[in-house]
Amino acid sequence: MAFIEFKVGNLKSKSDLFLAKLQSNTKQIEELIQLPSKTYLNFLTPYQKLNHDLDAIFTEISHLHSVKNSEETKEIYTELLPTITEYYTNLSQDKRILSAYEEILDKEKSSLTKVQLKVLSDGIRDFKLSGVDLPDKTKARLKDIQIQLSDLSNQFSQNVLDATNAFELIIKNPKDVVGIPDSDLLSAKQEDGSYKFTLQIPSYMAYMTYGQNPKLREDLYKAYVSKAPNNGKVLEDILKLRKEMASLLGFPSYSEYSLAFKMAENTKQVLDFLYKIAESAKPVAEKEFQTLKSFAESKGMKEFKSSDVAFYSELLKKESLDFDEEAYRPYLEKERTVKGSFQFIGKLFGIEFQEIEIDTWDSKVQVFDIKKDNLIIARLYADLEARKDKKGGAWMHNWVSRHNVDSKTILPSAFIVGNFPPSNGDNPSLLKPDDVVTLFHEMGHALHHLLTEIEEPFLSGINGVEWDAVEFPSQFLENFAYEKEALKFFAFHYKTGEALSDEMIQKLVDTKNFQSAMGVLRQLEFAIFDLKIHTDCPDEQGVQNILDEVRKEVAVNIPPSYNKFQNGFSHIFAGGYAAGYYSYKWAELLSANAFYRFVDNGIFDPKLSKDYIDHIISKGGSESAMELFKNFYGKEPEIEPLMRLLGIAA
């Protein structure tokens, strides 16, 4: 067993290595195609390995572009993106490769394993959906569209990052920072005594949640929700090309094309599911929002605005539930939280995290080998603190997939990335409870990739998993972040070592569903909007019109007209969630059922944990996600656990 090592190296050398590997792959794949008799062993095994290794090199470059963004990363990534897009488009439209798949399936169907048959069936499906049988002129247009889309998605993402980094709110009057937590003030304080707040989430949320000056809150909010206006044209072009691509491939809309790769059957089925939740959630959310408005008015806020929601929500939670989020941060110091959460996860799943010292792209990155039964089985890189050169948000990036080379297992590796409050000198990174949820969420993704036992690269880890099931393991694990059994592993005061009291833990649990219906509607707004724009694929104004209509249907807080959140909706315009944002709720149905099976049977039930790993985590994309779920759960998922999780009556 061995790892592929992450080499810090210079980015230009990685680029050169990628281009050389791409050229080598093209030559070797041509040689595979020319084999007189093709078998799984002599064709599919090397074919998967060639593409996996190319992806691993490109993932390093893409990863550095996200976490150490610079003019050099922009230039190299932008240069290589069309190249890898063209490479994979050429492969997906090569009838000779499809013929090889079909030949192998025909000859070896009775002797291949179930996993190998899934590699073949998925591959044949993907070739068909890529237009392999279309006329050459149509295929050429499809290739051009794919290259343009990859470039536009990169533009969208870079525009968001540039706009985020370009804005600064400088506050000179000390009265305007009264009430902001000391840890946030230390991060914001400048040498001249002023305070700087930015659009990076830890900084932005600090002022939006605690800043007492409503005018400054509105200024910051407006900058955040109107950033990257140049993305209005970019997203219009993306939708136009996606519509054309779907049409060329024989689909009535891009949403239907997208769903061809997912568990859900069609757009109507998904919209029905989303509106069913909205029907239950909206009456509750309307009461929550009215309570919030009335509370704000009682505090003298005559004109309640969207920029006031976070501030008064926090104040209402503090007064009505005697809950102060800031009181928890000293108990959630990042280093202790990471170490303790890994101990909890280790006990839950029977694994161990061992921190190792190796060179990485930043001094604050931590690296862990994961062990099971005293054997190292995977490696995790954790880059969790915010930096100016890092893209916003949090994510897991699967880097190396578990696979076999010459009878030797290459072990999987993954990156988890966050934007938690940065540590600074003697000032540690103190997390909010929501940050802990984020950590657990990304670890759920990581474990799905790292604990796999599948060694076919195309189905190993999260590869080959239907997109609307990818969030299942992440949402499952994040639910434990509020459980007493988990908090007891890491919630200790960073100065005194005092454990978080049972009373404070219970308060945290009690607040889990505070304004939960409002939060549910926000997610439904995103998901319905995503599906509808990918059904119609309108122009920039049409996108806004659809968003306005969806908000009228499901939102209880209608934002101001300058709110153009779509221009920063990277999940669907620069990520993998186009016509798939509903996946968060779709997968949450599975995760809620699984989570309450643990809660109701005892969290540390070894048989249950083994079943979850054996039937879900270890299987990768080797079977359909719904079949894997039913193998674990014993039946179809039920709606009641989801409503229980959301705190809403079914």
Question: Which residue numbers are catalytic?
Answer: 442
Please report which helix (H) or strand (E) contains residue 218, including its range. helix 214-225
Cβ atoms 454, 461 nearer than 8 A: yes
The label of the residue with tokens 């578990």 reads: 402
Cβ atoms 481, 433 nearer than 8 A: yes
Residue 329 in tokens: 């941060």
Strand partners, 366: 382
Number of other CB atoms surrounding residue 503 within 10 Å = 9
CA distance 204 to 202: 6
- Coil, helix or strand at residue 472: helix
Residue 114 in tokens: 């179930």
The DSSP string of 510-547 is: HTTTTTHHHHHHHHHHHHHHHHHHHHH---HHHHHHHH
Cβ atoms 219, 251 nearer than 8 A: no
- Burial of 67-101, coded b for 16+ CB within 10 Å and e otherwise, reads bbbeeebeebbeebbeebbbbbbebbbbeebbebb
Q: CB neighbours of 40 closer than 8 A, spacing ≥ 6?
A: 104, 108, 112, 116, 120
**From residue 235, how far is each of 8, 221, 566 by CA, in Å?**
34, 22, 8
- Burial of 396-416, coded b for 16+ CB within 10 Å and e otherwise, reads bbbbbbbbeeeeeebbbbbbb
Between strands 375-385 and 413-420, the pairing is parallel
Closest CA to 309 of 219, 214, 436: 214
Q: Is 513 exposed, middle or buried (0-12, 13-18, 19+ CB in 10 A)?
A: middle
CA distance 154 to 161: 11
Number of other CB atoms surrounding residue 328 within 10 Å = 21
